Structures are given as structure tokens and as C-alpha cells.
Chain A
Amino acid sequence: MSRSRRDFLKLITGAGVAVAVPLTAEGHDHFTGYPDSYGILHDITLCIGCRSCEAACNKVNNLPAPEKPFEDLTVLDQKRRTDENTYTVVNKYDVGNSSVSPLFRKFQCNHCMEPACASACFVAAFTKTPEGAVIYDPSVCVGCRYCLIACPFEVPAYEFHDPLDPRVVKCTMCYPRIIEGKLPSCVEACPQEALTFGKREDLIAIARERIRKHPDRYINHIYGEHEVGGTSWLYISGVPFEKLGFRTDLGITPAPELTSGALAMVPIIIGMWPVLLGGIYFITQRKEKMAARELKDAVNEAIENTQASANEVKAKALAAAKQDKEKAIEKAVEKALKEAAKQAKETKEDNGKEDA
């Protein structure tokens, strides 16, 4: 039942590109790494800086021969990093304490449990395999180099000199060899057994056991157990890790969690912005319409009012005119009567005179 429900959820989350991200990132499932994945334990107290691992890595991966041969240990006087021709480097650290100094530390891709490079890649060129290796597919790479930006360990390198087919370059944990049941070449080449290959869980147990048995020899910290969500490479040391060029301020948050919140906002904005903006649009439209109607109403009212008052004036004027007219008629009648009376009187007098 729960199985099929999970498959169904996978199906629907897979169907919607935008939805898939927040659901898998924000869900209740906490990814703790593939079970039985492999790792490598680097015991820094055992490393003698012989560069055998560098030589073996160079050979197995068919990388170009370096300027100075691997036997030349003066190379160690400089702090080096991985580049397009180098998957791994060993650096020398003078830690002051003469009984252990100098110390040597091997540097390469740490094969994070939840890799920042994979989280950053917009063509999904990076894969965390169930075996533990983080591998890269150059056939889809666009060359944006966001993986170089994202990597907290500054591991991936880029072929800046290649004009047509530049690739990202980094340690593969000898994934092709692991598949064949062989050891990673660096582990195989190490004469000091400073490198141990095995299941990551077992390696953590081994590291803990060594720290427990030799508290004078190791500090109580397995670097890579929790850093940035855990890495397949693990380190134990006799001196604090920051003295060996490790960043100890990286925190334990895996890379995908840093962006999952922002990515989760994407579908919300896609869903809600048209509602918000459309709403504002309709409100302004409505306001404009209302304003236009109010204006029209006001104009109509004004016209009506003017007309009404005009009518009133007209009526008054008419009434006044009528009154005037009546008065005039009355006056005229009166006048006419008077005139008539006068005339009658005059006629009488005339008649009287004539009679006389």
C-alpha cells in the first residue's frame, strides 16, 4: 500500500518539472546517503607525502605527464590544487610541532553525499552513484562552470584552453575500477596504508575505533562524516583540520537544502502572480470604468440641473410675460373704455349744442 502510494507520488512529482523539486527537497524523507555506498578513509597521521597516489592516479586516468616527475618532492613546497591535468594533489603542511611536522594531506573530490555540483548543474551532468562516486557526463555539459562556483571544496577544474570541447575535470573515485571490483588506484598505490577503501559505514566505525584506541594520536573528529551533509571521503588527523588547509566553517547543511526554499517559491509565483497582477488589472480597469461612469453621471446631472433651472426661469418669465400681457390688455381695455366714454360725452355735448 505505502509502496504503491510512493510510486504514485514519484510519478506525479516526476510529471511536473517545477513541482518535483520542492516536493523531494522539502518532504519528510531525509536522504542519509545510499546504503552500502563506498568511501575512502584518509589517515593523515600515516601519510609520508611520497606522491605515489598522484602517480597512480595520473597513470590510470591517462593524464598528461607533469612538468616535474612524481618522484620530485620539491613540488610539495608549493600549495597546489586540482586542475585539468590533475585529479589529486598532496600538499605539505608545517604545523609547528616538530614531532609530527611536516604533515601531508591528499586533496581530491570528496564525493559528497549530496553534491553541490550535482545540485547546481542545469543539465544534470553529475550523478551520485549508489556506489558512492560522483561522476560527470561530458556529453551534455554546456560549460557554464556553475559546478566550479558551487563546490565548497574548490575541486572541479575546467579545460579553459580547449576551444571546442572543454570539459569539467575531477576525480571519479575510480568509478570504472570500482565497478570491476578493483580498488581506486590511489588506494592501491599507497605504501603506507594511509588510505583505506571500504563501505562508508565501516570506515566510520574504523575511524572511531582508531580515535578511541589512540586518543593521544588523533583529535576526536572525523572530517567528512557530517561536513556539508557528509562526504564519501573521510579524514582523521592528529592536529586540528584547519591547520591542514581544510575548511572547518562549511557547516553540515547539504547543498540542495540551501536552494530548496527559493526553488519551492517558483510554483507559488507561477500560480499566484497571475492572480495578483490580474486582480490589480481588473481593479484598475474597474476604477477607470467607475470614474468614467461617475464623470458621465455628473455631466448628465449637471445638464439636467441646468435644464431644470432653465425651465423654471422660462416658466417664470412666461408667467411674468402673461401677467404683463393681461395687465396690458386690461389697461388697453380700460383705456378704450375711457376713450369710448369720453367720446360719448363729447358727442352728447355736440348734440346739445346743436340742439341749442
Chain B
Amino acid sequence: MSEHSTAVERPLFSPFNVIASLIILFGLWLTYLRFTGGLAAVSNLDHNNPWGIWIGFDLLCGVALAAGGYTTAAAVEIFGMKKYHAAVRPAILTGFLGYSMVAFALLYDVGQPWRLPYPFIISPGVTSVMFEVGACVMLYLTVLFLEFSPVALEWIGARKLRRVIVRLTILLTIFGVLLSTLHQSSLGAMFLLVPSKLHPLWYSPYLPVFFFVSSIAAGLSMVIFEGTLAHRNFHDKMDKEHLEASRRVVLGFGRGASLVLAGYFAIKVFGIAIGNNWHYLATNYGLWFMVEMLGFVALPCFLFAIGVRERNATVIKWAAFGTILGIILNRLNVVLICFNWQLPAEARYFPNWKEIGISVFVVTVGIVLYRFIVTRMPVFYEHPDFKEKH
């Protein structure tokens, strides 16, 4: 294939590899501290603030930003938008790695990670929303693994197994969308239990719907954003079809994201109206709420629309970046910033640098795996032996 002959030389001691290795070594040291000294040795978690950035960022943002997998697969396989076919593999890969990193971060966060299978084999607590989240995430990780596996099977040349799994595509896609609907919404539903702790502007009986709808916008934006980064770094790995499709993907997904964000903005406003929480808008938290809603929902929605109308990919990419920041902001608001809002300032949480270090370590491991896979396996191009018509 021509792509291979023009492939960029990637030296072993590139700046990326050196920095990533240092971060990983550092992360291993933090891992040692965590499992010898307990959660207190590396985190600022306490009895009032039992969840920190590992749940707020690694889990909640990780799951929301990995939504590109199910949104893209649904668009192409179920809704029949075949023109975005080239976006499916990168999105599935990001989803798979995203969820893997979520599970990886959980090993640091829970007190006894070796008991993580307990809810399903020893003592199921079926009244818990978290039971459902756990079950769905576990199953969905399996689905993503299967959805991604043809890429690895093409790489190693396992034809028969690949053919079997490719035949399951539509079933896997439907199951994946089902599981994603359930756990994306349930992550919001987990906070239904805390009307007395979460600020009324963020607490709503609609929390599950808010989380689900915003995850679609997050997924579409991540596909655009990740595509931009991939073009910068792995342009040499992309085949003609992928390169031709990328502009279509940016325009099409930008249009979708604009629509979804508009709907999301509307239901968030309905949430305020139904809770009759208008008076909180005049407080400091209200100001913060408006920053989130106007700066990171309405503005990206508008920019997406402008970008699509003007056919301006740069504007759409900035809108995608803004949406991603908005999703991160929203999840951190729900779990950390606007949670325990009634506690005095000295009882509030701020992450320890070692906690942030572990989060950086987890994200770095994800990026290293991503690079390893896309530089070796047919993600951005079609394997010459497995060409298909679309």
C-alpha cells in the first residue's frame, strides 16, 4: 500500500516517548503509594468528600467523552449514514480505550478493587443505580472489545474469526447503543439520591436524561476533535477514503452536534422551570450555571451552526473543543464543584497533586495504547486484504 511507503519514521527516543515514559514511571511510584498507604496517602478525599477527580474526571468525563463509539456506530450501521464509514473505527477505538481507562482508574479509586466482581457474583445490590452502571459498563466494555476486534484480527490475519465477528456488527451495535443509553443516563441517575447535597440548578429529576443527551453531543464532538489531532499526527497512516471522508465527517457531525446541543439547552431550561429554580440564577452559583450554559452549550451550538452553514471546518473544530470543555465542566460541577455546596469552604474538596498525577498517568497510558494501535493496525486505512464495498 502506498501509505506504508510514505510512512513517517517514528524514532524510539522521540520527545513523546521520553515524556510518556517519565509519566508512566512516576505513575507507577504513585501506584505504589496508593496501595501501601491507602487512599489518604495520595488523595484529599475525606468523609464529606468521598469522591474526587478520579470519579469526577476519569470516570464521568471518561465515559461521556467515550460516547463517540456508540454515536458513530449508530449513525453508520443503524441509521445507514454510510458516508461516515471511515469514522467508525477510530471512534470505536477511542471508545474502547476510553472505557478501559475508566475501569483502570476505578482500580485506584475503590477501596478494594479485587472485589469489583462482587456485585455480580457474591452479593448483588439491585436497588442501587450503581449496580446498573457497573453491569452496563462491564457489558459495554465487552461489546467495544468485540466491535474493535476485527481491527486486531485483520492485523494478525485471523480471517475466519474476523468474518464471524463482522457478521455480528449490527447486533453488537444495537446492544452497544442499548447499554450506552442505560449507563450514560444512569451516571446522572446516581445523583438523584442527593437532592440535599447537589445545588438545585444542577439537581433535577431529569439528570439521567441530561447525562444521556449531553453524552451524544460529547461523542460527536470527540470524533471531530480526535480526528483533528489524528490528522496532525497520523496523516501518513490514512488512506484516500479516510482523507476524503474526514471533511464530510466534520460537517455532518457538526450539524448533528449543533442540533443535539440545542435540544440539550432547551431541556436544561425546562429543568430550571419545572424545579422553579429561577431565583438561584441571581446568585454566584447562578452566574456559574450561566457560564456553563451560555459559554459551553449555547456558544458551541451556535458556532457549530455557523461552521456548517459557512462550510468552515475550523469553526466546527473550535465548537467541538468548546463542547468537550463544557461536558467536562458539567460533570465536574455535578460531582465536585456544586456538590456539597452548603458545606463551609474549609470542608470543601480540592484535589491533591498526587491525585491529579494518577489521572494524568491513566490518560497517558490511554494515549500510548492509542498510538501503539493506530501505527500498527488498520484503523485509519482499510487493510488491503479485507477491502469491502460500502
A-to-B contact residues, CB < 8 Å: 17-18, 20-21, 25, 81-84, 116, 118-125, 137, 140-146, 148-150, 152, 154, 156-166, 247, 249-251, 255-256, 258-259, 261-263, 265-266, 269-270, 273-274, 277-278, 280-281, 284-285, 287-288
Complex interface: stretch among B74-82, B257-265, B267-275, B306-314: B74-82
Contact assessment for B178 and A160 in the assembled complex, using a CB-CB cutoff below 8 Å? no
A44 to chain B, nearest CB (A): 21
A-B pairs under 8 A by CB, number: 186
B389 within 8 A of A: no
User: For window 154-211 of chain B, which residues contact chain A by CB distance below 8 Å?
Assistant: 170, 173-174, 177-178, 181-182, 185-186, 189-190, 192-197, 205, 208
State the CA gap A101–B258 with chains docked (Å). 59
Interface centre among A121, A122, A249 (most CB of B within 10 A): A122
How many chain B residues touch A (Cβ–Cβ < 8 Å)?
60
Which single member of B80, B124, B205 contacts A124 (CB below 8 Å)? Answer: B124
Contacts A17-B124, A146-B190, A149-B194 supplied; 10 other A-B pairs, CB < 8 Å? A120-B130, A123-B118, A142-B115, A158-B47, A166-B39, A258-B192, A262-B189, A266-B182, A274-B178, A284-B78
State the CA gap A164–B114 with chains docked (Å). 10
State the CA gap A84–B40 with chains docked (Å). 12
- The interface residues of chain A lying within 8 Å CB-to-CB of B40 are 160-161
Which single member of B46, B80, B194, B205 contacts A285 (CB below 8 Å)? Answer: B80
Contact assessment for A142 and B116 in the assembled complex, using a CB-CB cutoff below 8 Å? yes
State the CA gap A144–B50 with chains docked (Å). 9
- The interface residues of chain A lying within 8 Å CB-to-CB of B130 are 120, 122, 144, 146
- The interface residues of chain B lying within 8 Å CB-to-CB of A119 are 127-128, 193
- The interface residues of chain B lying within 8 Å CB-to-CB of A157 are 47
B345 within 8 A of A: no
State the CA gap A249–B34 with chains docked (Å). 38
B239 within 8 A of A: no
Given A146-B128, A262-B185, A82–B134 Cβ distance below 8 Å? no
Contact assessment for B193 and A140 in the assembled complex, using a CB-CB cutoff below 8 Å? no
A-B contact pairs, 21 of them (CB 8 A): A81-B48, A116-B193, A122-B130, A123-B118, A140-B115, A140-B122, A142-B110, A148-B50, A158-B50, A160-B38, A161-B37, A166-B38, A258-B192, A259-B192, A263-B129, A266-B132, A273-B177, A273-B178, A273-B181, A277-B178, A281-B80
Contact assessment for B111 and A277 in the assembled complex, using a CB-CB cutoff below 8 Å? no
Contact assessment for B125 and A154 in the assembled complex, using a CB-CB cutoff below 8 Å? no
State the CA gap A141–B111 with chains docked (Å). 9
Which single member of A116, A146, A259 contacts B189 (CB below 8 Å)? Answer: A259
B346 to chain A, nearest CB (A): 11
Contact assessment for A21 and B126 in the assembled complex, using a CB-CB cutoff below 8 Å? yes
Interface centre among B125, B185, B186, B190 (most CB of A within 10 A): B125
B239 to chain A, nearest CB (A): 24
- The interface residues of chain A lying within 8 Å CB-to-CB of B126 are 17-18, 20-21, 124
B123 within 8 A of A: yes
Which single member of A281, A284, A285 contacts B174 (CB below 8 Å)? Answer: A281
Contact assessment for A123 and B174 in the assembled complex, using a CB-CB cutoff below 8 Å? no
Contact assessment for A145 and B50 in the assembled complex, using a CB-CB cutoff below 8 Å? yes
Contact assessment for B196 and A247 in the assembled complex, using a CB-CB cutoff below 8 Å? yes
Closest 6 CB pairs of A and B: A143-B111, A284-B80, A145-B50, A124-B125, A262-B189, A160-B40
Contact assessment for A123 and B193 in the assembled complex, using a CB-CB cutoff below 8 Å? no
State the CA gap A121–B163 with chains docked (Å). 42
Contact assessment for B125 and A123 in the assembled complex, using a CB-CB cutoff below 8 Å? yes
State the CA gap A249–B134 with chains docked (Å). 31
Contact assessment for A150 and B194 in the assembled complex, using a CB-CB cutoff below 8 Å? yes
- The interface residues of chain B lying within 8 Å CB-to-CB of A158 are 39, 47, 50, 111
B16 within 8 A of A: no
- The interface residues of chain B lying within 8 Å CB-to-CB of A288 are 80
Which single member of B36, B74, B109, B185 contacts A163 (CB below 8 Å)? Answer: B36
B286 within 8 A of A: no
Which single member of A146, A160, A258, A287 contacts B195 (CB below 8 Å)? Answer: A258
Contact assessment for A259 and B193 in the assembled complex, using a CB-CB cutoff below 8 Å? yes
- The interface residues of chain A lying within 8 Å CB-to-CB of B132 are 263, 266
Contact assessment for A277 and B174 in the assembled complex, using a CB-CB cutoff below 8 Å? yes
Contact assessment for B193 and A149 in the assembled complex, using a CB-CB cutoff below 8 Å? yes
Contact assessment for A256 and B127 in the assembled complex, using a CB-CB cutoff below 8 Å? yes
State the CA gap A259–B190 with chains docked (Å). 8
State the CA gap A122–B115 with chains docked (Å). 12
State the CA gap A144–B108 with chains docked (Å). 11
Interface centre among A18, A156, A270, A277 (most CB of B within 10 A): A277
Chain A's closest residue to B48 (CB) is: A154
Chain B's closest residue to A20 (CB) is: B126
B131 within 8 A of A: yes
- The interface residues of chain B lying within 8 Å CB-to-CB of A258 are 192-193, 195
Contact assessment for B124 and A145 in the assembled complex, using a CB-CB cutoff below 8 Å? no
Given A166-B38, A250-B196, A124–B78 Cβ distance below 8 Å? no
Which single member of B111, B128, B182 contacts A166 (CB below 8 Å)? Answer: B111
- The interface residues of chain A lying within 8 Å CB-to-CB of B123 are 123-125, 137, 140
State the CA gap A122–B79 with chains docked (Å). 35
State the CA gap A281–B74 with chains docked (Å). 9
A206 to chain B, nearest CB (A): 28
Contact assessment for A160 and B118 in the assembled complex, using a CB-CB cutoff below 8 Å? no
B175 to chain A, nearest CB (A): 8
Which single member of A21, A161, A162, A164 contacts B127 (CB below 8 Å)? Answer: A21
Contact assessment for A251 and B195 in the assembled complex, using a CB-CB cutoff below 8 Å? yes
B274 to chain A, nearest CB (A): 14
